Structure 1
Amino acid sequence: MHIAVYLPLLLSVLAPIGARVLPERCEPRLATWLLTVSALVLAATSTLSLGLLAATGLLRIPLLAGLGHWSTLAAQQNDPAELSIALIAGLLLGGSVITAARMLWQRARSLAAAALEAACMPTTDGLVVVDDAVPEAFALPGLPGRVVVSTGMLHTLEEKERDILLAHERAHLAAHHYLFVALAQLGAAANPLVRPLANAVTYTIERWADEHAATATGDRTRVARTVGKAALAAHHSPARARIPRAALGILGVLGRRNPLSGAGPVPRRVAALLAPPLRRHPALMAATAAVLTAAAWSVADAAFDLHLLLEAVGI
């Protein structure tokens, strides 16, 4: 437990590198999977590491040591972690669990509200047209989900561009992109160090939907033009008062309409569509697997060390 228990926390510092490299060099679908799994694994292993460190501090509390028939003196002599580190780990662990539980509750409520709202929208083919001059289009998760498009958006786009928009939004529903976003954000709630990975997922799911639309229509240039056109129309229109938090749309993720927050991703998406499609990157897959394997192994090794410590301090 001397070094291994700290390794997941140290590996979490690499999250900004992965969040920058994977979306730009790896095919969007694979990048989304790698980013989401990385956020969850690093969050889980770092949380377990905090728990293992906190457990070493519990061994030094006489009341708890008595319940477990442990020797506090032996624990002080054999435990490699300082008591102050164990206390800090306990506080961080408590904050991590509370934040993750709160986020999970809020996300579950938003998805349930979105599903209920989708069920109340009458439609025969999953498409709901809203009489609204503000250009808007988003996918609303549900059983089944709905693609919601405003008349303002339909009037903004040409016929082929409307097909692209619908293909993009339906890709969000078919691939359950809202689950990737929710899981990545859950990891970020448990471990703030991996938040760049969660933010990258909100970009790669849009790239995933863009590539699906490009494949469905066979025209990457027109898809790029449609993405830029829709973003430009939203830039010159007032923001909506309320958009479901679980919605995913061509203008951004979770209904964000702030042009400043969308200024970066939209040009990157357009540039990616104008370039040749990205392919699977075996080296990045191997590197990601190596990092996650190291994190998992370190937690397992630290847990075994704690087991040995409990045997050593047993009365």
Structure 2
Amino acid sequence: MHVAVYLPLLFPALAAFLARPLGEGLPPRAATWLLTAGSLVLATAGTAVLGMLAVTGLLRIPLLARLADGHWSAHAAQQHDPTSLSVAVLAGTLLVVVTALAGRMLVRRARTLASAMAEAACLPGPDQLVIVDDPAAEAYAVPGNPGRIVVSTGMLDALEPTEHAILLAHERAHLDHRHHLFVALAQLAAAANPLLRPLATTVGYTVERWADEDAAACTGDRAQVARTIGKAALAARRTRGRSRIPAAALGLLGRLGRLRPVGPGPGPVPRRVAALLAPAPRSRTWTTAAFLGLAAATALCAAEAAHDLQTLLELAEHAATRS
């Protein structure tokens, strides 16, 4: 296999640098779709490449060739494959690790979503909106069939009646667009490749921005949406929730109401407020093109690696037939 086989393992690091510019520079809907799909492509290609590198190591083992009734020549595979055995062993080890991590994340997210849906079905009342008697300022959407919106009396008291409509529009956007699935898929990709974690974090931010823009479209006042988010954040800081919020819930203040910044700089809530007070975002051609180029190059490199592996298998089989 040639050097192209290693590029899908390096491209996610480059994609991570583009995550935040895409999340803040593109319209939130487009950013969410692009980052989620790109994460899945990068994670899938990287995992496939690890598998192909591991297979080149297995082809070198004479015992496996004999167990396969001599369908390939281990000597020929070693002679024609430029990949060293140590690289193949390392790739196989990493493949086992990332498969285990991705499998664990898949099981956890499936259980989380199933639990959230069961909880949504058990919430009191027939309506989509559920008001709970709790002085803590909380508001979140629980995915389900149908999904439910949970708002505490503390949050209702903290906001004006006109701001209640903004709150509900934001939460309905989470349910209508199934934002929890975007977050789950991005997290699954990050579990398969930790280099993609910045993309998963950004998807968590862009789904909130998407809901913000939906609320702004419903009210026609972006500044009022920004003020509502700010007031809700201040109210949440002053109070402490007594109820257990489902892990799959999304709310006005972000996933599980997280208000603290993950890294340096302002946190997600101040960034959302600033984005609403600025003009609506427009597409950034160069960042979009760069990210799409990385995803396409990753897929092409993985396809080239698959072709190289197929050629190696044919050479090894041909050598076994001649011998």
* Residue range with higher mean Cα deviation, 115-124 or 242-251: 115-124
Q: In structure 2, the residue corresponding to 1:13 is in which secondary structure? A: helix
In structure 2, how many angstroms separate the alpha carbons of the residues matched to 1:133 and 1:172?
24
Is the Cα–Cα contact under 8 Å of residues 239 and 257 in structure 1 kept in the other structure?
no
Structure 2 counterpart of 1:276: 279
Residues 1:127 and 2:143 are matched in the alignment: no
Paired letter, 2:192? A
What pairs with 1:24-103 in structure 2 (closer than 5 Å)? 24-68=24-68, 69-103=71-105
* Residue range with higher mean Cα deviation, 134-143 or 283-292: 283-292
Residues 1:209 and 2:247 are matched in the alignment: no
- Deviations along 1:32-91, whole A, 9 cap, x unmatched? 011101111000000000001000000111221223422221122111111000000001
Structure 2 counterpart of 1:196: 198
Structure 1 counterpart of 2:14: 14
In structure 1, how many angstroms separate the alpha carbons of the residues matched to 2:35 and 2:12?
12
Is the Cα–Cα contact under 8 Å of residues 138 and 241 in structure 2 kept in the other structure?
no
In structure 2, how many angstroms separate the alpha carbons of the residues matched to 1:21 and 1:259?
20
The equivalent position to 1:264 in structure 2, one of 267, 272, 278, is 267
Shift of 1:293: 1.0
Identity of aligned residues (%): 61
Structure 1 counterpart of 2:184: 182
In structure 1, how many angstroms separate the alpha carbons of the residues matched to 2:258 and 2:201?
16
* Residue range with higher mean Cα deviation, 241-250 or 37-46: 241-250
The alignment's C-alpha RMSD in Å is: 1.4
Structure 2 counterpart of 1:248: 250
Residues 1:23 and 2:26 are matched in the alignment: no
Shift of 1:258: 5.4
Is the Cα–Cα contact under 8 Å of residues 128 and 149 in structure 2 kept in the other structure?
yes
* Residue range with higher mean Cα deviation, 286-295 or 219-228: 286-295
In structure 2, how many angstroms separate the alpha carbons of the residues matched to 1:167 and 1:160?
12
Paired letter, 2:119? E
Q: In structure 1, the residue corresponding to 2:64 is in which secondary structure? A: helix
Is the Cα–Cα contact under 8 Å of residues 65 and 73 in structure 2 kept in the other structure?
yes
Structure 1 counterpart of 2:175: 173
In structure 2, how many angstroms separate the alpha carbons of the residues matched to 1:221 and 1:83?
60
Shift of 1:312: 1.1
Shift of 1:236: 1.5
Shift of 1:281: 3.2
Q: 1:146 to 1:87 in 2, by over 3 A?
A: same
In structure 1, how many angstroms separate the alpha carbons of the residues matched to 2:216 and 2:120?
27
Paired letter, 2:303? A
Paired letter, 1:94? V
Q: Which stretches in structure 2 are left out of the alignment for 5+ residues?
A: none
Instruction: Compute the TM-score of the two structures, normalised by the length of structure 2.
Output: 0.94
Instruction: Compute the TM-score of the two structures, normalised by the length of structure 1.
Output: 0.96
Q: In structure 2, the residue corresponding to 1:14 is in which secondary structure? A: helix
Q: Which stretches in structure 1 are left out of the alignment for 5+ residues?
A: none
Structure 1 counterpart of 2:311: 308
Is the Cα–Cα contact under 8 Å of residues 231 and 251 in structure 1 kept in the other structure?
yes
The structure 1 segments of at least 4 consecutive aligned residues displaced by more than 6 Å after TM superposition are none
Paired letter, 2:122? C
In structure 2, how many angstroms separate the alpha carbons of the residues matched to 1:119 and 1:77?
61
In structure 1, how many angstroms separate the alpha carbons of the residues matched to 2:16 and 2:99?
23
- Deviations along 1:112-147, whole A, 9 cap, x unmatched? 111111111233431000000000000000000000
In structure 1, how many angstroms separate the alpha carbons of the residues matched to 2:259 and 2:61?
51
Structure 1 counterpart of 2:113: 111
Q: In structure 1, the residue corresponding to 2:149 is in which secondary structure? A: strand
The equivalent position to 1:288 in structure 2, one of 291, 298, 302, is 291
